[in-house]
Structures are given as structure tokens and as C-alpha cells.
Amino acid sequence: MLGRKERDQLELYMCGSLRELIPDDHILVKVNAVLDLSWLHEEVAELYAAGVGRPGIDPDVAVRLMLAGFLLGIVHDRRLMREAQVNIAIRWFVGFGLHEVLPDHSSLTRIRQRWGAERFRKIFERTVKVCVAAKIAKGEIVHVDASLIRADVSWESLAVRHVDAVAVANEDTDGEPKSRKTGKYKKVCVTDPDASMATNGRNRRLEPAYKQHAVVDDAYGVVLDVEVTTGEINEGQVILGRLDTVAALTGSEIKIATADAGYAYAKVFAGMEKRAIEAIIPAKAEPIRSPVPMHRFRYDAKHDTKCPRGKMLKAGRAVKHGRFFTSRAADCRHCDMSRLCLSKGRVNKAVVLGDDYPALLRARRRRERWSDEDRALYQRHRWRSEGYHGEAKTSHGLSRAIRRGLTNMKIQAYLTAAAVNLKRLASAFLAILLLVCCREAPNSVRDRLREGKAFAFGLLVASA
């Protein structure tokens, strides 16, 4: 017989907890078992006046709301609060009953402004420390990469900097403006000045963007460090500082660091040598093509530089990050390679070598002797570090900035990385829990999950 469902829904009371209605494998259930924010109230207490005004939102509730949004890919405050009105999993995760009124979306904005980026970084760093304590992150082998994040601006908000003044200052004698290849014609964003024009490919157009620099652990893909800069900042300017931060945070020395060719600079290789870090970075070929390439000039730190015919090039004036080396005009005058080696109008050879040029030479020789293990580590870099950026952009809303300004972008990056680390930690906890309960009753895992995060942290630390 055909059934019919009455849709009056006249229930007045519901006995039991909202937890009973949420599946055990829900992401918020698994993360709740390993999330501890008991320290946060004391951390932000100094930002509020004691005994003055109405009670503010519990810091634990505010952070749980934000984390729930990033875990579920609902990153905009308005949409998140609309979803929380009807989503019992979010209500349970933040501790609100069905009858309680949720905070307004604007409250989250004011909390971010009041706390600042540094306190959200502390939330992220706490997740790193817990992962290290649980031994799902060691900090010995790390993968470094950077990714552009599109700024939350429109194309109509872009303007050309000082276009009128520059046009007048660069007029030729015939009144026509000079080439617009100068940086003075660079486009800027008037609605988000912190965003800068950048691109991740030579054949792609410039877009207003930020750049996220991330360090990922090799073992389980735990994010050890994230930092956000403008899109103009080069990766080589940031990597050494990020590695120092990771070593201080994890308390262990980095042994191996991998990165792509965008980091293959002499100063990067030299910095890693000083830190006793083995760099798995493919060294770049010589950027300038010449009939007599630079690798034919033999560099000797003790005896300066020799040309392909064995003549000495003496050190000359210093330039930024390097020094000129020049040959004698008499040596070049009778050289059989002078037509190939010398530029038009030159009577002697001049080359510029960076301060850390020997480190670059050693890296190039090291690249030619990569072992199978080195190649395997570089392959892991592709799906560990680049995989994190893909996961963050696809599942956690990092493909585009959700608010404007460098501070807001940093907060978004910290919360995204914290959400990913909590996912890693929850998966590790669940794996340990299954091993512990494998001989118990089938419903023991569910009972353990409902016992709370105290058991989760105790089990993780005991297993470590």
C-alpha cells in the first residue's frame, strides 16, 4: 500500500543532545575530539574591559564558528551564519542549542579587528605544537612552496599610478611619450592597496593578488608555517626566515628542505649551507645565453676567476649582492676567442659574480648527482606542498581573499592552515582509536568519540 507522510511536525520537545543527530564521521565531530581552546579566554582577556558593558561573545564560540566555516568551505561570515541557523552540526560544534540565538555576522568582523593577526597565528601555532606532540609532524624534512591568492577586488578598481605626471616627464622631443615599459606605469588597486599585480606564468595576465608562503612537513602533510605577503615579494626573500621560524616552533633542526626552481638563488643555497640544511632544489641554468657561457669561467675563491684561456680576472668594484671581475685589455687583445667573448665596443671582459656564487656552483654540481632518494623527495614536494595549496583552495576557500587588506588575508591563511592541521590530527587520532578499540565491542569507537577531547589528547600523547 502506498504510504503517506504527515508534515505537520508538531513536536514541542526533543529529548537528548544534538550530538545524537550528527553522524560519527562528520568532520566537525572528528575535529571536536582534538580541538582544545581552553587557553584562549586568558589569551584575549586583556582586550576586554572587566565589568564594563555587555558580555561579549565567548572566544571559544567565535573561533569555533570561524573554524567550522573553513572546515566546511563556508568562508564568508554572512553565508556561514545563515548556514549555522539550520545546520545542527555547526550549532552543536559551537555549543548552541536549537532555541538559542546565534551571534550576528558583524560580531566576527569586530573580533578579528580587535584580536589582530598575531593572536590568530597563535591559534595556528597551537595546532602545530599538538601535531608535533602527537608525532605526526617532526620538522626534519620539510617542503616549501608559495602560491598566489587572488585579491577581493574587481578589475574596475585598478588604476595606473601617476600616469599623467609620468607621461609629461617622459615626453620625447617630438612630444610623444616614451615606451610604457617603465615600472612607473604599474597598475595599482585603489580599493585594496596591499594587493599587488602578480602572475604565476609568463603567458598569463597580471592580477591583483597576495602570496602565501607555506612550509609543509613530509610525514603527514602538517602545515608547519604560513606567511602572507604582497604578490610582488619574491620567494627567495622569504624562505630562510620561514625555515628559522619552523625550527624554533618545532624544537628540532631541519635536515632536508625541498623547493622548486623558483627558490634556486645563490643566497638561498648559501643560507641553507650555513644552517646545515640539505637543499633539494633544482638549480637554474645560466639566465643569459652567450657564445662563451659563464660556466666556462672557472671561479676560485682564493685566486679570483679565470677565463676559458686561463687568464686571470681581477676583482673590481662592488655592486649590489656581488662584485665585478674584469680582465686585462692586453690579455683579450691577442686572444683567439675575443670575437666571441667580448661585447661590441668592449676591449676587455667584465662579469658580475654574486657574493654567494660558490654555493650556487656547489648546488649545480649537487643537482647532477641527485640520488633516487633525492628525486623521490622532490616528487613528494609536488604533492605535499603543492597539494596543500590545492586542498586549501579547493576545499577551504583560499582560492580568493574573502576580505581586503594584508591583515585580513593573514587571518584567513592562519585559520585555513589551522583547519587543515586539525583534519590531519583528527585522522591520526581516529586511526589510533581504531587500533585501541579493535578488540572491543563494535560501538566502542562511537562511545570513545563521545567521551570528549580529554581522552583524545591523552591517547595521542600516550601513543607519542
What is the per-residue pLDDT across 117-139, written as a single tens digit (0 to 9) for each?
Answer: 999 999 999 999 999 998 899 99
* Residue 299 lies inside a defined structural domain of this protein: yes
* Residue 344 lies inside a defined structural domain of this protein: yes
Q: How confident is the model at residue 436 (pLDDT cuts 50, 70, 90)?
A: low
**Domain limit, last residue, from 314, 338, 358:** 358
Q: What angle do CA 439, 441, 447 make, to 5 degrees?
A: 115
Label the pairing between strands 304-306 and 223-230.
unpaired
How many domains, in total, are found in the chain?
3
Same domain, 38 and 104: yes
Q: Do 400 and 150 contact (CB within 8 A), yes or no?
A: yes
Same domain, 96 and 167: no
Q: How confident is the model at residue 102 (pLDDT cuts 50, 70, 90)?
A: very high
* Separation CA 174–CA 229 (nearest Å): 42
Sign of the torsion angle spanned by Cα atoms 394, 399, 403, 406:
positive
Same domain, 54 and 101: yes
Q: How confident is the model at residue 439 (pLDDT cuts 50, 70, 90)?
A: low
pLDDT above 90: percentage of residues in the chain: 44
* Separation CA 171–CA 144 (nearest Å): 45
Same domain, 331 and 426: no
State the residue for C-alpha cell 619552523.
Answer: 246
**Domain limit, last residue, from 329, 358, 387:** 358
H-only helix segments in 303-342: 329-333, 338-341
* Amino acid occupying residue 273: E
* Residue 279 lies inside a defined structural domain of this protein: no
Domain that holds residue 186: 157-190
Radius of gyration of the CA atoms of the chain, in A: 29
Query: How many angstroms separate the first and last alpha carbons of the chain?
Result: 59
- Say what the pLDDT of residue 24 is: 86
* Residue 301 lies inside a defined structural domain of this protein: yes
pLDDT per residue over 201-249, tens digit each? 766 778 889 999 999 999 999 999 999 998 888 888 899 999 999 999 9
pLDDT per residue over 396-415, tens digit each? 999 999 999 999 999 999 99
- Say what the pLDDT of residue 184 is: 47
Same domain, 103 and 167: no
* Separation CA 385–CA 393 (nearest Å): 13
Tally of CB atoms within 10 A around 133: 14
Q: Do 225 and 400 contact (CB within 8 A), yes or no?
A: no
* Separation CA 238–CA 242 (nearest Å): 6
Does residue 146 sit in helix, strand or coil?
strand
* Residue 310 lies inside a defined structural domain of this protein: yes
* Residue 249 lies inside a defined structural domain of this protein: no
* Residue 310 φ/ψ region, left for φ over 0, alpha for ψ in the -120 to 50 degree band, beta for the rest: left
pLDDT per residue over 329-371, tens digit each? 766 777 867 666 777 767 667 676 667 777 888 888 888 889 9
pLDDT per residue over 129-168, tens digit each? 999 998 899 999 999 999 999 998 887 777 766 555 555 5
Query: Any bridge partners for residue 198, and if so which?
Result: 207
- Report the predicted TM-score, pTM, of the whole model to 2 decimal places: 0.82
- What is the mean pLDDT of the segment spanning 360-387? 89
Same domain, 92 and 162: no
Same domain, 26 and 119: yes
Same domain, 91 and 186: no
Same domain, 330 and 423: no
- What is the mean pLDDT of the segment spanning 40-44? 91
**Domain limit, last residue, from 190, 211, 241:** 190
- Say what the pLDDT of residue 79 is: 96
Same domain, 23 and 113: yes
* Residue 328 lies inside a defined structural domain of this protein: yes
* Residue 409 lies inside a defined structural domain of this protein: no
